[in-house]
Amino acid sequence: MTTIISLTILGVLTLFLGIMKKQSWLLPVILLGLVVSMVLTLRDWNTFSSYYNGMIIVDNVSVAFSMALIFSAFLIFSLAAHYYRGVLRPLDDIYGVMIFALLGAVMMTSYGNLIMLFLGIETLSIALYVLAGSHKEAVTSNEATLKYFLLGSFLSGFLLFGIALIYGSSGSFDLGRISAFVTSCAGIYPPMFLAGLFLLIIGLAFKIAVVPFHFWAPDVYEGTPTLLTAFMATVVKTAAIIAMYRFFTHTFHGIHGVWDTTIWVMAALTILLGNLTGLYQPNLKRMLAYSSISHSGYMLLAVVAFSAMSDNALLLYTLSYSIATILAFAILILIREAHGNDYFSSLNGLAKTNPSIAFCLTIAMLSLAGIPPLAGFMAKYYLFTTALEQGLLWLVIVAIAGSAISVAYYFKPIMAMYLKESNGIKLMVETPYKVSIFFMALLVVLIGILPFLVIGLL
């Protein structure tokens, strides 16, 4: 709860710094504020409390994922100074909206009521529609925001309809009551309730970008300003998956037989389609978009394979995915700046001109591909083990096949960097930006070597 309040205050503060013409204070205040709200979040560890008649439930899962979200946002903000350095217009609105999006995301980790879930999703989504179009001069950015808005509001309708149907059949928005209703049904569920349930899956699946509701992702990711794409690919996805995870594993776990086939199929399709289509992308940003789609599929494994271990596995997975993805996007920003595009050919010979940057990108790619000893490998390992323990052999086989396919495209940038002749353009990087990059690369390695830092938490 303190997290939500502190983030709200931070968001308002950001906006007012803007109108007080204190642009140079913005980032320091935001970074400090994020640290403060991380500290406040940590104080809720092991408290297990609920607020406002169960509207918001704070438990260790929500604290851990809130931390992961704020930390991801922190990493992204640490890149913002470089990304927006040439921009003259005030940035307080973009930053402010980012923080409100983060707020929505945090609400999605700790909701105890469907109203709060919807509120969180909408806070997040509306903020994102704005952010996607925040580069007003670029046609691609306009295209991204329009597509995202059209499809997003369309699917939000389904989500709301789903919530309404569930309310209609169970008579409550409260997760506890709904859960009690599910138990009282004793195996015979009203179709209205089921329709609501599946519409809810569909609405959330859209936010996570799961096949067949993933179509927006590549187009929107490509058009959105890169820094905000990183935000979408990590914070938004983590929030949506944890919202789904909480809902389905805690409230609806009693009837997992009803919905898990659907999620199973969606996960398998997402993994296969994301990875297969990723093979053919000509540029890094689009490739990362497909990579993020395929990772949604892996994360869905945790929803189907709910068990004592899956909390940990999902946390490790989202964390390692987020850090590696932000790292990749951070370098993508540099490449786009230097070359004006991000075709793989722009990466040629990067190992010669900027060996350390090339190395960090390699780490990010290898981690996303799941090569030991990096974080991505450990995350996949734990997730797949959890799934196997739940008897999801075939899904794991699909996931491993998907991983194998993904290696092919994750190695494209690595090959370009190390094997091709350089075109002589050296990337210009300031020290703070470099420090952020190295820090993330270090984290990826560290989590890979010592997964126990994360895995024993929940």
Which one of residues 36, 405, 407, 446 is an interface residue with other proteins (CB under 8 A)?
Answer: 405
> Residue 12, interface with other proteins (CB under 8 A)?
yes
**Residue 174, strand partner residues:** 113
> Whose CA is closest to 381, among 294, 452, 292?
452
> Residue 411, interface with other proteins (CB under 8 A)?
no
CA-to-CA distance for 127 and 15, rounded, in angstroms?
Answer: 14
CA-to-CA distance for 396 and 407, rounded, in angstroms?
Answer: 17
Residue 341 DSSP SS3: coil
Site string for other proteins, 127-166 (x = CB under 8 A): --------------------x--xx--xx--x--------
> Residue 29, interface with other proteins (CB under 8 A)?
no
> Residue 402, interface with other proteins (CB under 8 A)?
no
Residue 49 DSSP SS3: strand
Residue placing its CB nearer to other proteins in the complex, 23 or 339: 23
Q: How many residues belong to the site for other proteins (CB under 8 A)?
A: 40
Q: Count the Cβ atoms, other than its own, within 10 Å of residue 257.
A: 8
Residue 309 DSSP SS3: coil
Pick the stretch among 12-20, 47-55, 115-123, 369-377 that binds other proteins (CB under 8 A). 12-20
> Residue 70, interface with other proteins (CB under 8 A)?
no
> Whose CA is closest to 90, among 33, 8, 17?
17
> Whose CA is closest to 131, among 229, 217, 208, 33?
229
Residue placing its CB nearer to other proteins in the complex, 213 or 410: 213
Per the CB < 8 A criterion, the answer to whether 437 and 357 are in contact is: yes
Q: Least distance (Å) from other proteins to the CB of residue 337?
A: 26
CA-to-CA distance for 115 and 453, rounded, in angstroms?
Answer: 34
Residue placing its CB nearer to other proteins in the complex, 394 or 452: 452
Pick the stretch among 26-34, 60-68, 254-262, 420-428 that binds other proteins (CB under 8 A). 254-262
Residues 197-236 that bind other proteins (CB under 8 A): 198-199, 201-202, 206, 212-213, 215-216, 218-219
Alpha-carbon distances of 64 from 3, 180, 209, 446, rounded to whole Å? 12, 26, 23, 18
Q: Least distance (Å) from other proteins to the CB of residue 72?
A: 26
Alpha helices in 224-278 (DSSP H): 226-231, 237-246, 256-278
Which one of residues 5, 16, 51, 373 is an interface residue with other proteins (CB under 8 A)?
Answer: 16
The contact set with other proteins (CB under 8 A) reads 12, 15-16, 19, 147, 150-151, 154-155, 158, 190-192, 194-195, 198-199, 201-202, 206, 212-213, 215-216, 218-219, 258-259, 262, 273, 276-281, 405, 408, 450, 452
